[in-house]
A and B are shown apart, each in its own frame.
Chain A
Amino acid sequence: MKFGIVVFPGSNCDYDCYHVLSQVLGVETVFIWYGDRNLKDCDCIVLPGGFSYGDYLRAGAIARFSPVMEKVKEFAENGGLVIGICNGFQVLTEAGILPGALLPNRDGRFICRHVYLRVENNQTPFTLLFTPGEVVKIPIAHQQGNFFIDPLCQEEAKKQVVFRYCSSEGEVGSRYNPNGSWENAAGIISREGNVLGMMPHPERAAEAILGSADGRRVFLSVIKWWEEKKWK
């Protein structure tokens, strides 16, 4: 299986994702330049964190017009696996590939810290190695991570929440919500189940020496899912 990491100008977690995928997990990984219209036969596309185009207009607002995004959209519509992390999640909502929007954090400031997440759904290609309700520790680092969704779509969207911010014991409540997200949502999956957007950075929690290796299982889940699909 092959991962492709999209590099927008201003992406800054591209190398981190590359390190985890290719060095830590030993899976084939390539970079995909934002100006190219070729996904290089990758099986899973990662839109990494960072500040594409400096986030100057609004996070992700310009990146979604880049040539590579036409192909990513097509790929996702055909069932391809896509993970958007932080800025990548913002790009996915801006592009309409995932629902909702990521507003500025409740208190307006950038927040970088380890947070706890409760896994709400392990029936996805990205979470099958977690147990339902499991609490994992993965850091966030963003200024616009306050997930918002149109009230008319909320009923449907509730089923799409994959990770929720919570306490170390798994309690979900507003005091454990770092940015004001609707439903404490930290990660959302597409209705078809092949596109994941999450504000926390699993690549920053993929090695024990960095304080947590919980995030590694997001990528391992994808690899396992892919292997099993291949044999089916």
Chain B
Amino acid sequence: MEVTNGANIAKELGLREEEYERILTILGRVPTPTEIAMFSVEWSEHCGYPHSRKWLELLPREGEFSPLLGEDAGGIVYDGLAIVFKMESHNHPSQIEPKQGAATGIGGIIRDILGSGARPIACLDSLHFGPLEDQRSLYVYRGVVEGIAFYGNCVGVPTVAGELYFYPAFRGNCLVNVMCLGIAPRENLTQAKAQGEGNYIVYVGNKTGRDGIGGCSILASQEFGVKEEKRPSVQIGDPFAEKCLIEATLEALNTGYVVGVKDMGAAGLTCSTSEMAASGESGVEINLDLVPLREEEMEPWEIMMSESQERMLLCVRRGYEEDIIQIFRKWGLEGEIIGEVKDTGRVTIKYQGEVVADIPALELTKPPVYTPPREKPLYLDEVNNFSLESIPLPSDYEEILWRMVSSENLSSRRPVFEQYDHMVGINTVLLPGLGTVVLRVKGKKWGIAVTTDCNPLYCYLSPREGAKMAVAEAARNLSACGAKPAGVTDCLNFGNPEKPDRYWQFVEAIEGLSEACRFFGIPVVSGNVSFYNENPQGTIFPTPTIGMVGIIEDVEKVVSAGFREDDLIVVLLGETKEELGGSEYLRVIHHREEGPPPQVDLQREKNLQELLITLVREGVVSSAIDLSEGGLILALVESSVIKENPRGAIVDLECLGDMREDVLLFGESGGRALVSLRGESLSSLHRLSGELGVPYQVIGKTGGEKLIIKKGEKLLVSLPVEELKNCWERGLGE
């Protein structure tokens, strides 16, 4: 093993000096270039979580539904079925090369789910960009949507839901958080382990090329500099190969000959070999000469670091390797034995007859833990000073409503989700539209509801409250269609953790997240941390995106938003507080990103969740929608226009108390929902809301071609719903 200047190579690959020292101690000698490369990716922020691991331990892992905690993806078990899900970021690749960045994000998360042995059945995307008036942001947004459509549609997994928000803070660093959900009989789940001396390590999928080298260490674990060319670190997606890989892998797992399987995603062969060896408490010996290569003369360290897509690594029982390989070849994919399991506890890599790396697997998969100093950011006091008196009371609410309804963040997301095949698989019972979708499970009475949530502005104004609100809002979303929240995956997007103010935001948010999940009894089963989301212009809004999965007992009973008939009673559940901080109204109309954001009352949220689930189960309500961005008025508009044929309503806010009209209309207090029901169901609502301690107010009645909102004698809004629908649906362009 010849080594020239290991310390320099280590530095170039992003390793710290003290990390290099530790490598010297572990190995008892100077590392080879391949070994340095392997440590650099395994210990990178993206793979090893050195800055976050300690804090992730705060998150609750137990809940009402039995959790499943795996290496790559976790989930819950319900009725004998494992529901596996995970969310992951692909921010930096998408900022640089939007289409391929987003596409390969989808590919990666699908393989994470596949690696657990589950069939992927749905994808969601939580997307954040700079404002569309900015040319670069428009380009990134369009490219990302195109990439999701390009990859997701072809791969045959429906893209069913997500979020899409635009704030100036994401101008130089977009967020592309992708979530995938899969199902499998509990007993079919597989682990990412290599076990059993003599069993084979089989490489399957696409060939290995030079794309994506250093994707996780260089691209994802550093902030953007002023002038750099990182495009070569972005991988290229091949959704057709991925589709075949899904089918072939599931077919292979079905044989019972596969001991373990792992996706080759971030850090490619390095990560899959070392983590499979470590979790199997074994070792592996790999011969790089056997790895199918796309390009000639690749260096061993390049092969080990490549992040070429659509590859998986299997551990196969000796004697059955041909059966497995034939399955992959049948699907037109590579399938090669590249090594075998050894009980050395080491990852040994050979190349052209020489050992180029030989590292104890456990050490390689135990990155250092860092908890650098943290400090409350200076901006917080300044932006949380907002007082209601500084906002003039509007004179024309209709004009404001037009602007709100057509705004980038509040208008319909139809132009985007219609570009995604959200129906393939024929499970999508509640179609996309307002964030939550419901999937049936063929042959079962129950169904799965899933959503993603986070309001980055709230989190900017108060990372702790914002994170709590993200959990509360996701749970409210699910409950509004009748589903009980069952499990959470998170994708925590922050700036550079080595800067004390950014790190403070991260710790605050994770504590808030943990508190809310614990209070609601929802386990966090999987997740991902994305740091270094900043460029020289500044950092992003802290964004702890929540992916939440719920169970609805009877999928036939699912309730959606949207007034279904005339003469229904319109009821507001929960309590409206005198809050406007962090609202879209303040941002869009008054150009102020100021707080404090709405305060979260976890007990009230929990009461509301239970009430909503009960109302749906007992068939009391005809429609339900939770209140969030845009407040009551947006919930009313959406309920009026979401159905194919819009339907008006007459609403009087007088009963909500003596508050400013703009607070009543646009305030974003949590713990609220809007439902419609028939007159004869009102007594049931009265009884249940009393039992569960949720105040309610009857505020109006459905019917007519206009949405009319009054406060006592004063008419605030009277607009044709057909026009509101057009305006809402065209906000994002055609």
Binding site for B on A (CB under 8 A): 9-10, 12-13, 15-16, 19-20, 23, 49-51, 53-56, 107, 109-113, 139, 141, 143, 168, 201, 203-204, 206-207, 209-211
B240 to A12, Cβ gap below 8 A? no
Nearest CB of chain A from residue B436's CB, rounded to whole Å = 16
Nearest CB of chain B from residue A151's CB, rounded to whole Å = 29
A110 to B421, Cβ gap below 8 A? yes
Checking B241, B244, B420, B426 against A19 with a beta-carbon cut-off of 8 angstroms, the contacting residue is B426
Nearest CB of chain A from residue B664's CB, rounded to whole Å = 35
Residues in B with CB closer than 8 Å to A23 are 442
Checking A51, A141, A143 against B240 with a beta-carbon cut-off of 8 angstroms, the contacting residue is A51
In the complex, per-residue mask of B525-568: 1 if CB is within 8 Å of any chain A CB, else 0: 00000000000000000000000000000011000000000000
Residues in A with CB closer than 8 Å to B156 are 12-13, 50-51
Cα separation A53 to B244 with both chains bound (whole Å): 10
Checking B240, B426, B555 against A10 with a beta-carbon cut-off of 8 angstroms, the contacting residue is B240
- A10-B244, A51-B154, A210-B426 in contact; A19/B442 too (CB < 8 A)? yes
* CB of B236 within 8 Å of the partner chain: no
Binding site for A on B (CB under 8 A): 149, 153-156, 238-241, 243-244, 331-332, 417-426, 428-429, 431, 440, 442, 555-556, 644, 734
A109 to B419, Cβ gap below 8 A? yes
Nearest CB of chain A from residue B358's CB, rounded to whole Å = 39
Nearest CB of chain B from residue A146's CB, rounded to whole Å = 16
Nearest CB of chain B from residue A200's CB, rounded to whole Å = 11
Beyond contacts A13-B424, A112-B419: 9 other A-B pairs, Cβ-Cβ < 8 A, are A12-B243, A16-B424, A16-B425, A19-B442, A54-B238, A55-B154, A109-B149, A112-B421, A141-B153
Among A20, A49, A54, A111, chain B packs the most CB atoms within 10 A around the CB of A54
Nearest CB of chain A from residue B147's CB, rounded to whole Å = 12
Residues in B with CB closer than 8 Å to A56 are 240
- A209-B429, A209-B556 in contact; A12/B239 too (CB < 8 A)? no
- A54-B238, A112-B418 in contact; A201/B154 too (CB < 8 A)? no
Residues in A with CB closer than 8 Å to B424 are 12-13, 16, 49, 141
Q: Which residue of A lies closest to B242 (CB)?
A: A54
Q: Which residue of B lies closest to A109 (CB)?
A: B419
A-B contact pairs, 20 of them (CB 8 A): A10-B240, A12-B156, A49-B424, A51-B154, A54-B154, A107-B734, A109-B149, A109-B419, A110-B153, A110-B420, A110-B421, A112-B417, A112-B418, A112-B423, A113-B418, A141-B153, A141-B423, A143-B153, A204-B426, A210-B423
Residues in B with CB closer than 8 Å to A203 are 426
Nearest CB of chain B from residue A219's CB, rounded to whole Å = 14
Residues in B with CB closer than 8 Å to A12 are 155-156, 243, 424
Residues in A with CB closer than 8 Å to B431 are 211
Cα separation A13 to B156 with both chains bound (whole Å): 8
Residues in A with CB closer than 8 Å to B429 are 209-210
Residues in A with CB closer than 8 Å to B155 are 12
B419 to A210, Cβ gap below 8 A? no
Cα separation A20 to B442 with both chains bound (whole Å): 11
Residues in A with CB closer than 8 Å to B244 are 9-10
